[in-house]
Amino acid sequence: METTLRGVGVSHGVAIGEVRHMGTAVLEPPAKRIPAEEAEREQGRARQAVDAVAADLNARGHLAGGEAQAVLEAQAMMAQDPELMADVDRRIAVGSSAERAVYDAFAAYRALLAGAGEYLAGRVADLDDVRNRIVARLLGVPMPGVPDSDEPYVLIARDLAPADTALLDPALVLGFVTEEGGPTSHSAILARALGVPAVVALPGAGELAEGTVIAVDGSTGEIFVEPSEAKRAEMESAAAARKAALSASTGPGATSDGHKVPLLANVGGPGDVPAAVEAGAEGVGLFRTEFLFLDDSKQAPSEEKQVAAYRAVLEAFPEGRVVVRVLDAGADKPLDFLTPADEPNPALGVRGLRTLLDHPDVLRTQLTALAKAAEGLPVYLEVMAPMVADRTDAKAFADACRAAGLQAKFGAMVEIPSAALRARSILQEVEFLSLGTNDLAQYTFAADRQVGAVSRLQDPWQPALLDLVALSADAAKAEGKSCGVCGEAAADPLLACVLTGLGVTSLSMGAASLPYVRATLAKYTLAQCERAAAAARAADSADEARLAAQAVLSGE
């Protein structure tokens, strides 16, 4: 009998297939004691296992590229954390085996993170994955992971570690469903990059029996268990129609009455450029430069290395717009040479622009490298600062850009509610705004983007978040300047129409989402988008806002 479940759709498309569960196992080693004379050997075993796991994570990152590379390289740094390794050595010295010492050291660190508050739940999940990989290697057993199968399937998991998500084979994994996670979790972001339909935050997903046939709608978040032939045909027909519409939609982004909305790509480096160009991106709306810095957490990349990486991206968009975000370090992207190790709450501490202003040499080198990379190119370079809180921040960044001789537009990211509330003041110092809806939602609702339990508050359809977008867009319009969105909200085709109606002047997203947004935007006039935006803001919840916008755009 067909039943319907609902989670949070995070990656477009339809997948119909049999359920296969992520392999799980309790990797808790026995608490046996070792003689003192074996301590040095055990410490060596532990270090070898840690180094091997870190190397594996880095290798997976290089294979996957893009978003996944930064996530996996951050996990590799976590594996080799000096404090953790010192604790492992200490535990071995008093009689623990290598595997038990690793298990207990990670458990202690995990407890510290969990005790610091829910905001670090996403990092705790990554920490568990690193621990399991090290312990599995020490025990000589396979790491639980993606199931072996010769036939395509729908993957079910409590959550997916970045190392597993990054290398999923779309030819075998038709789609995936997780109990945890949210619309901006690592799993969701990587699913969109892979083009795999995905639903997260589905309570009870683990109870779906192995081999059960389900149909996954990655747009609506609906899961149909044992779908009828009629339901299968309906979903497959809708998917085919959507694919045909995508193929027919080409050219610059615009509404049906010709209102231009440039559609740009989010990239992490040169490796993401081919997919963006192929998808018809009109430029880059967010170049995440921290990927370059994560290659080596001990020191900043040289000016020469930065110039080469920036120029490779700039050259791909001749006469296009490329918006570069300077280094956003801190919180879930710690760097040993920049990030304080003892912050009680890194997400609310010294991160983003605050970090760079504390290390002006790092900012100056990056801005100088960007200036050199753009020399002689016809590209329209724009450079923006992350985590701008007020006009003082904006002025400090603009002054640094001018001091570095940067011939570009200077902008500010709106990720903190204060920046949206005082956007017009900030625009006295910079020339454009770019809304990072992921962090803006996180700080508006005090809801960590990695925690499934608060995923409803991370929904970009939340009316309060739309109010902040409208405030920013209105301020930019009043000042005759631009205001784009580069957060994951821009990847939702229906929400893209609402954002356009709110006055947003450009949309930037992962390359895989560009065709969907282009095709949907082209179906409606600007006036329809404005009415949908007004209806969404008048709602009291994210679900009501989505339904209200749908009703307006469908003519109901």
Residues marked as catalytic:
186, 486
* Bridge pairing between strands 3-6 and 222-225: antiparallel
How far is residue 67's CA from residue 229's CA, in Å, rounded to a whole number?
37
| Strand duo 263-267 + 173-178: pairing | unpaired
Full DSSP string of 375-418: TT---EEEEEESS--SHHHHHHHHHHHHHTT--SEEEEEE-SHH
Read off the DSSP letter of residue 269: S
Q: Classify burial at 375, counting beta carbons within 10 Å of its beta carbon; exposed 0-12, middle 13-18, buried 19 or more.
A: exposed
First to last CA, the chain: 32
Distance CA 436, CA 158 (A): 28
Q: Match 């918006």 to its residue by tokens.
A: 323
Would you state the structure tokens that stand for residue 276, as one six-digit string? 């963006």
Q: Which residues pair with 288 in a beta bridge?
A: 325
Q: Tell me the C-alpha distance between 289 and 293, whole Å.
A: 7
Largest CA distance in the chain: 79
Residue 393 CB-half CA count within 13 A: 25
**8 A C-beta contact, residue 351 and residue 330:** yes
CA 425, chain centre distance (Å): 29
Structure tokens at 520: 């949907």
d(CA 201, CA 221): 9
The H or E element containing residue 57 is helix 39-64
Are 472 and 424 contacting, i.e. CB atoms less than 8 angstroms apart? no
**CA–CA dist 233, 130 (Å, integer):** 42
* HSE-CB for 455 with a 13 A CA cutoff: 24
